[in-house]
Amino acid sequence: MLVMLASAGPGVSAVTAGPLLAASGLPLAVRRIWPVPVFAAVLAASALALLADMPSDAFVAAAYALYTVALTRRRRKWVPTTLIGMLSCVVILGAALFGPIGWRAERLGFLVLGLAVLGASWALGRTVRDRREHAARFARELADRAVGEERLRIARELHDIVAHSMSLIAVKSGVAVHVAEARPAEAVDALRVIEATSRGTLAEMRHLLGVLRADAAGEGALTPPPDLAALDGLAERAAMAGVRVDLDVRAGDVPESVALAVYRIVQEAVTNVVKHAAPARCRVGVVAGGGRVGIDVTDDGPGTRVLPGGPGGGHGIIGMRERVMMYGGEFSAGPRPEGGFAVSARFPYET
C-alpha cells in the first residue's frame, strides 16, 4: 500500500489515496463470507482510484475478489455480480471518453487492461469451480455405485445361504409329514436333518451379519467364508435331501474370493437339483489352477428348470451368472439332450 501511495499521481493527496487503497484492499479479508458485497466495494474503490489518477494495478484487488465470487457463487446468483461489473465499467468508460484528451488515451489503456484482468480472473474462478463440482459429482457417483454393488452382494449372499437351506428344510419337512404315521423313525431322522440345517443356516446368517458389521466398522471378517473344502459338507447336506453328489475337485491354492465364488455357484446348482430333481444323482466337477476355474454340475433328474424370466423368478441362475460375469467368464445353464440339467461356468482369475 505504501508503494501505491508513493506512485500516486501528483494531484492526488495521501488523504484521498489512503482511504481508496484501504477500501480496495481491506475488504478482501472477508471475501469468502460476503463475496458479492466485497467485490462491489473493491471494484468501486478500484474504479475511483483509476479516475483519481491512482496506479494502474488497482484492479488486481478487484480481480482477486471476482475470483472468489466466480468460485463460490452459483450460476443463478450471477446477476448482482454482472450488474455491479457493468455499472462500474460504464462509469470508468464514461470518464475515459469525456475526460481530457491526454487523460482519456492513457486511462483507456488502463481500463482495457483492467477488464482483461477481471475477465481472466472470472474465467479462472469458474474453471476451478467447475472442476470441483465435477470431482464432487464423480465422487457421489462412485459412492452410489459402491452402495448398489454392496446391496447386490448382500442380496446374493442372503439368497445363496437361505435358498439352499430352505429347499432342504422344505423337502425333509414334506418327508416327515408323509411318513410320520407309517414310519415314525424316518420322520424323526427328517426332523433331525431340519434341525441341523436350521442351525447351520443360522450360523451362516450370523457370520454374514458379522462380516457386514465388521466391514462397516473397518474391521476384518470374524470367521473365514466358505471355501472349496466346504463342498464336502454341502454334498452331505444334499444327500440328506435325497440327492447323491459325486464330487471331483481338482484345485490348488486359489484366492479366497475365487473359492467363495466357486462354493456359491456349486451351492446354487446343487440347490436347484434338490428343489427340482430330487431324488437324483448329481455330479460336480471343479478344476481350478493356472488362473482359470472350470465348474460343471450335472444331474440325471428332469431337465425342466425355472429359468430367468419365467414363473418363480430364476434368481439363483441369475446370481450364478452374475458371479461368473464379475470375473469376465462364461456361463451356461440348461437341459441336457440325454436328460437332466447342466450348469457350466468358466472364468479367469488373477494369481
Domain holding 23, by residue range, is: 2-140
Q: How far apart are CA 318 and CA 332, in angstroms?
A: 11
Alpha-carbon torsion 127, 132, 137, 139, what sign?
positive
The torsion angles phi and psi of 305, rounded to 5 degrees, stand at -145, 165
Domain boundary pick from 118, 140, 162:
140
What pLDDT score was predicted for residue 109? 66
Average pLDDT, integer, range 148-166? 70
Is 268 part of any domain?
yes
Is 224 part of any domain?
no
Is 115 part of any domain?
yes
Domain boundary pick from 86, 108, 140:
140
Tens of pLDDT, residue by residue over 143-152, are 777 767 767 7
Q: How many independent structural domains does the chain possess?
A: 2
C-alpha cell at 284: 460336480
* pLDDT more than 70, % of the chain: 65
Q: Any idea how long the chain is? A: 351
Tens of pLDDT, residue by residue over 197-242, are 777 777 667 666 665 555 555 544 445 678 899 899 889 888 887 8
Average pLDDT, integer, range 264-286? 87
What pLDDT score was predicted for residue 101? 46
Q: Are strands 330-335 and 292-299 parallel, antiparallel or unpaired?
A: unpaired
What pLDDT score was predicted for residue 308? 46
Is 206 part of any domain?
no
- Assess whether 6 and 122 both reside in one domain: yes
pLDDT beyond 90 at 126: no
What pLDDT score was predicted for residue 9? 46
- Assess whether 243 and 123 both reside in one domain: no
Average pLDDT, integer, range 3-21? 52
What pLDDT score was predicted for residue 81? 56
- Determine how many CB atoms are found less than 10 A away from the CB of residue 271: 25
Residue keyed to cell 484482468: 117
3-class SS at 297? strand
Q: What pLDDT band is residue 292 in, cutting at 50, 70 and 90? A: very high
More confident residue, 134 or 113: 134
Give how far Cα 178 sits from Cα of 24, 171, 184, 190, Å.
94, 11, 10, 11
Is 149 part of any domain?
no
Is 284 part of any domain?
yes
Report CA Rg, the chain: 38
CATH number, residue 320:
3.30.565.10
- Assess whether 22 and 130 both reside in one domain: yes
What pLDDT score was predicted for residue 224? 64
Is 190 part of any domain?
no
Q: Are 64 and 45 in contact (CB under 8 A)?
A: no
Q: Are 197 and 237 in contact (CB under 8 A)?
A: yes
Is 156 part of any domain?
no
Q: Are 160 and 319 in contact (CB under 8 A)?
A: yes
- Assess whether 135 and 241 both reside in one domain: no
pLDDT beyond 70 at 338: yes
Tens of pLDDT, residue by residue over 311-323, are 344 557 888 888 8
Domain boundary pick from 78, 111, 140:
140
